[in-house]
């Protein structure tokens, strides 16, 4: 595991920003962090970077304690904050020069290539850049390093659709190079298309962990029930769950979730007294709605 | 620990302030001495020793008889607001930018995401501030010496006797920088850091004045760091001036260094708030 947290907690007075968060991120995976505003996502990331000290618990990156050896952790991590503020009086290329001078493994040429790929004019002063341009500049800084762990907090915020697409491609390229990416975003479609695994936080707690691959195999079936459901066949018991069976306006509606093969499911569904059957793949938004 | 990129940027940040103050302090001693020379010495002597109440000598720090000399009048340039305020502004401006300024701007987040220690960031700022103060003090000294050597009072005053006074200015700058940097290390808003230090400065002036004028509250003088800033006492050219400088700058620079050390420890351990 590249990143491990064990009962990581951060308290601000009586307010619990993060509570007993235990998770792990495997090397080479793209790991998504989801949750409402104030769920604790940024708190978790800032604990990993050593910006804040935990009230209790522990976090490690590559076996290094994040609270006591923050410098060593940061030498292995490239971090894009949710609010990336840069030096306003400097021009874009001067900012790239500065940040590439802070890391031995940072390549100035690669930073320039990423900036060009994102169509960023580096001759402009940061103060005269739009919010999206500053975000692109920050991305060029972060993605130009060789750090094994990349943490991106809302990387596509304020970006135009073309730039968003390029950033997501770069995230996938990072994984192809063997790097690990932690990706925090409110844009569920991006998380779903990019991540291998996601964790959902709510009020400082980890409430659900979801593999994207297994989620894509899952389906949600809703239908109008015209008779008795009967029992689920034994061979489908492990992969099928009947989520709800409601009576609405003298009709019953049923919702069935399937995590197994749809082909076997279809045979069983055909025998049931169902009408108006609607089948859809389980999307991240329905998982997110379920747990937040 | 040291990083050239951080060092270069820190120097770049203070470049305009250094050049501005250097320009100011290059010109000011010439103007000051020229203006002082417009008042003939006998007239100045009369005003000082006869017109002003003797009790007010306590405010001066040196007897009026010493002030009413060419060296004494030049020494008053070191306590002129142009010098004292500029020295204080230097300390407060640079010290407040060390941590709270960067946190308020939000740039500390990206900076500390890099593999650079908090100690390196803080100490680089501290060293750059102190070196800048040394450069400015040198500019002031050179300007005073050349104004004294080639100005209206050429030949009347030995220029090198103002070295201790210039070093006292340096001590004041280090003191204010260190105290400000310490407050900045604990704070998250530059405006609040500056406000606290302005309040501290006014408090220091008031305690110094009250301590000077009041017999009952004379102990207040020891509360004020500005009690160690008395450049007009250091221009006699005697060995005692250097001994007094050692004491004064020992206090000022000592307080400044303690401020920087305390600031380093505070900044290394504190939680950083997220940018607003």
Do residue A124 and residue A259 come from a single domain? no
pLDDT at A71: 95
Strand order in the sheet with A197-202: A77-80, A149-153, A180-184, A30-35, A197-202, A205-211
Do residue A176 and residue A51 come from a single domain? yes
Pairing of strands A149-153, A77-80: parallel
Is residue B112 within 8 angstroms of chain A, CB to CB? yes
From residue B112, alpha-carbon distances to B103, B116, B159, B269 in Å are: 11, 6, 47, 13
CA B247, chain centre distance (Å): 16
Say if the Cβ atoms of A138 and B106 lie within 8 Å.
no
Question: Residue A164 has which token pair?
Answer: 């968003």
Is residue A48 within 8 angstroms of chain B, CB to CB? no
From residue B85, alpha-carbon distances to A141, A147, A251, B139, B256 in Å are: 40, 47, 84, 16, 17
Q: What distance in Å separates residue A146's CA from the closest CA in chain B?
A: 13
Is residue B120 within 8 angstroms of chain A, CB to CB? no
**Which residues does chain A have within 8 Å of residue B9's beta carbon, measured at their own beta carbons?**
87, 98
To the nearest whole percent, how much of chain B has pLDDT over 70?
Answer: 100
Say if the Cβ atoms of B112 and A138 lie within 8 Å.
no
Q: What is the pLDDT of residues B171-185, one digit of tens each?
A: 999 999 999 999 999
Is residue A283 within 8 angstroms of chain B, CB to CB? no
pLDDT at B163: 95
Say if the Cβ atoms of B271 and A53 lie within 8 Å.
yes
Asked if pLDDT for residue B3 goes beyond 90, the answer is no
Q: What is the pLDDT of residues B152-164, one digit of tens each?
A: 988 888 999 999 9
Do residue A72 and residue A173 come from a single domain? yes
Q: What distance in Å separates residue B171's CA from the closest CA in chain A?
A: 31
Query: Out of A37-51, B56-70, B128-142, B237-251, which region has the weakest mean confidence (pLDDT)?
Result: B56-70
Instruction: Determine the average pLDDT of the residues in A264-287.
Output: 85
Asked if pLDDT for residue A20 goes beyond 80, the answer is yes
Q: What is the pLDDT of residues A170-211, one digit of tens each?
A: 999 999 999 999 999 988 999 999 999 999 999 989 998 989
Say if the Cβ atoms of A85 and B6 lie within 8 Å.
no
DSSP-assigned letter for residue B105: H
Do residue A63 and residue A138 come from a single domain? yes
pLDDT at A250: 56
Residue A144 zone, left/alpha/beta (φ > 0; ψ -120 to 50; rest): alpha
Distance CA B245, CA B165 (A): 8
Domain CATH for A79: 3.40.50.300
Say if the Cβ atoms of A82 and B3 lie within 8 Å.
no
Is residue A83 within 8 angstroms of chain B, CB to CB? yes
Say if the Cβ atoms of A83 and B106 lie within 8 Å.
yes
Is residue B274 within 8 angstroms of chain A, CB to CB? yes
pLDDT at B1: 64
From residue A11, alpha-carbon distances to A16, A19, A20, A44, A60 in Å are: 5, 8, 11, 12, 19
Domain boundary among A179, A213, A247: A213
Selected residue of A89, A99, A102 to mutate for chain B interface (largest B Cβ count, 10 A): A102
Do residue A177 and residue A223 come from a single domain? no
Instruction: Determine the average pLDDT of the residues in A24-48.
Output: 93
Nearest to B264 by CA among B108, B115, B106, B125: B125
pLDDT at B60: 74
**Which residues does chain A have within 8 Å of residue B115's beta carbon, measured at their own beta carbons?**
71, 74-75, 102-103
Asked if pLDDT for residue B47 goes beyond 70, the answer is yes
Do residue A204 and residue A229 come from a single domain? no
Do residue A226 and residue A279 come from a single domain? yes
Do residue A110 and residue A249 come from a single domain? no
Do residue A195 and residue A248 come from a single domain? no
- Top pLDDT among B142 and B48 is at B142
Instruction: Determine the average pLDDT of the residues in A209-236.
Output: 84
**Which residues does chain B have within 8 Å of residue A82's beta carbon, measured at their own beta carbons?**
274
Is residue B3 within 8 angstroms of chain A, CB to CB? yes
State how many domains chain A has: 2
Asked if pLDDT for residue A249 goes beyond 90, the answer is no
| ipTM computed for the complex | 0.86
Q: pLDDT averaged over chain B?
A: 92
Domain boundary among A213, A236, A258: A213
- Top pLDDT among A272 and B164 is at B164
Is residue B106 within 8 angstroms of chain A, CB to CB? yes
Asked if pLDDT for residue A248 goes beyond 60, the answer is no
Q: What is the pLDDT of residues B210-249, one digit of tens each?
A: 998 888 888 888 899 999 999 999 988 888 899 999 999 9
Do residue A15 and residue A146 come from a single domain? yes
To the nearest whole percent, how much of chain B has pLDDT over 90?
Answer: 73
Q: What is the pLDDT of residues B183-211, one digit of tens each?
A: 999 999 999 999 999 999 999 999 999 99
Q: What distance in Å separates residue A196's CA from the closest CA in chain B?
A: 25
Is residue A103 within 8 angstroms of chain B, CB to CB? yes
Q: What distance in Å separates residue B13's CA from the closest CA in chain A?
A: 9
Say if the Cβ atoms of A138 and B5 lie within 8 Å.
no
Is residue A37 within 8 angstroms of chain B, CB to CB? no
pLDDT at B20: 97
pLDDT at A157: 87
Which pLDDT band holds residue A247 (cuts at 50, 70, 90)?
low
To the nearest whole percent, how much of chain A has pLDDT over 90?
Answer: 58
**Which residues does chain A have within 8 Å of residue B271's beta carbon, measured at their own beta carbons?**
51-53
CA A116, A120, A121, A123 dihedral sign is negative
Residue A282 sits in which domain range? 218-291
Domain boundary among A188, A213, A238: A213
> Cα torsion at A67, B103, B205, B132 (round to 10°)?
90
> Model pTM?
0.89
pLDDT at B62: 77
Asked if pLDDT for residue B170 goes beyond 80, the answer is yes
Look at residue A33 and give its three-state secondary structure: strand
CB contact residues (below 8 A), chain A span 129-168, against chain B: 138, 141
Asked if pLDDT for residue A260 goes beyond 90, the answer is no
Q: What is the pLDDT of residues A141-165, one digit of tens each?
A: 999 998 999 999 999 988 999 999 9
To the nearest whole percent, how much of chain A has pLDDT over 70?
Answer: 96
Residue A165 zone, left/alpha/beta (φ > 0; ψ -120 to 50; rest): alpha
Is residue B110 within 8 angstroms of chain A, CB to CB? yes
**Which residues does chain B have within 8 Å of residue A141's beta carbon, measured at their own beta carbons?**
110
Domain CATH for A275: 3.30.70
Do residue A125 and residue A259 come from a single domain? no
Angle between helices A92-100 and A131-143 (to 10 degrees): 30
Instruction: Determine the average pLDDT of the residues in A25-42.
Output: 92
Instruction: Determine the average pLDDT of the residues in A232-238.
Output: 82
Which of B4, B106, B114 is the closest to A103 by Cβ?
B114
Do residue A67 and residue A182 come from a single domain? yes
Which of A49, A53, A87 is the closest to B113 by Cβ?
A49
Q: What distance in Å separates residue B276's CA from the closest CA in chain A?
A: 8
């Amino acid at each position: 595991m590249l990143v491990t947290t064990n009962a990581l907690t951060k308290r601000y007075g009586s307010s619990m920003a993060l509570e007993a968060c235990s998770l792990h991120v495997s090397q080479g995976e793209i790991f998504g962090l989801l949750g409402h505003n104030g769920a604790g996502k940024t708190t978790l990331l800032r604990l990993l970077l050593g910006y804040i000290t935990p009230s209790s618990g522990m976090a490690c990156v590559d076996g290094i304690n994040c609270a006591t050896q923050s410098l060593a952790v940061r030498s292995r991590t490239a971090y894009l904050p949710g609010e990336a503020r840069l030096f306003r009086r400097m021009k874009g290329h001067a900012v790239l020069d500065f940040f590439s001078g802070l890391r031995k493994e940072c390549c100035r040429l690669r930073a320039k290539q990423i900036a060009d790929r994102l169509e960023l004019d580096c001759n402009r002063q940061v103060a005269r850049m739009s919010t999206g341009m500053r975000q692109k500049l920050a991305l060029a800084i972060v993605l130009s390093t060789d750090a094994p762990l990349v943490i991106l907090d809302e990387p596509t915020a304020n970006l135009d659709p073309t730039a968003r697409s390029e950033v997501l491609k770069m995230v996938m390229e990072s994984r192809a190079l063997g790097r690990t990416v932690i990706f925090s975003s409110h844009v569920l479609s991006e998380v779903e298309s990019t991540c291998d695994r996601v964790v959902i936080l709510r009020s400082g707690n980890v409430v659900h962990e979801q593999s994207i691959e297994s989620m894509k195999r899952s389906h949600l079936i809703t239908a109008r029930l015209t008779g008795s459901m009967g029992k689920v066949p034994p061979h489908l018991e492990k992969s099928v769950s009947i989520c709800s069976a409601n009576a609405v306006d003298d009709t019953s509606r049923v919702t069935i979730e399937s995590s197994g093969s749809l082909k076997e499911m279809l045979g069983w569904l055909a025998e049931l007294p169902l009408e108006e059957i609607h089948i859809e793949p389980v999307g991240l938004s329905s998982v997110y709605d379920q747990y937040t | 620990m040291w990083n050239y990129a951080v060092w270069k940027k820190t120097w770049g940040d203070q470049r305009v302030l250094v050049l501005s103050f250097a320009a100011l302090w290059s010109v000011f001693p010439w103007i000051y001495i020229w203006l002082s020379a417009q008042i003939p010495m006998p007239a100045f002597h009369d005003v000082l020793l006869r017109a002003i109440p003797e009790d007010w000598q306590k405010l001066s720090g040196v007897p009026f008889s010493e002030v009413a000399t060419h060296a004494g009048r030049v020494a008053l340039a070191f306590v002129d607001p142009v010098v004292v305020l500029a020295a204080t502004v230097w300390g407060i401006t640079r010290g407040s930018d060390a941590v709270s300024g960067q946190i308020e701007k939000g740039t500390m987040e990206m900076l500390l995401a890099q593999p650079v220690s908090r100690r390196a960031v803080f100490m680089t700022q501290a060293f750059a501030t102190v070196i800048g103060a040394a450069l400015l003090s040198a500019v002031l000294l050179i300007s005073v010496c050349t104004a004294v050597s080639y100005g209206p009072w050429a030949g009347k005053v030995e220029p090198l006797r103002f070295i201790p006074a210039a070093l006292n200015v340096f001590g004041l700058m280090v003191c204010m920088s260190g105290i400000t940097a310490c407050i900045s290390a604990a704070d998250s808003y530059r405006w609040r850091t500056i406000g606290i230090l302005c309040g501290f400065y006014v408090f220091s002036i008031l305690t110094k004045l009250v301590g000077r004028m009041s017999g009952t509250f004379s102990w207040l003088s020891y509360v004020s760091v500005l009690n160690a800033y008395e450049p007009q006492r250091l221009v006699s050219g005697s060995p005692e001036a250097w001994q007094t400088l050692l004491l004064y700058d020992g206090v000022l620079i000592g307080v400044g260094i303690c401020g920087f050390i305390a600031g380093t420890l505070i900044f290394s351990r504190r939680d950083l708030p997220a940018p607003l």
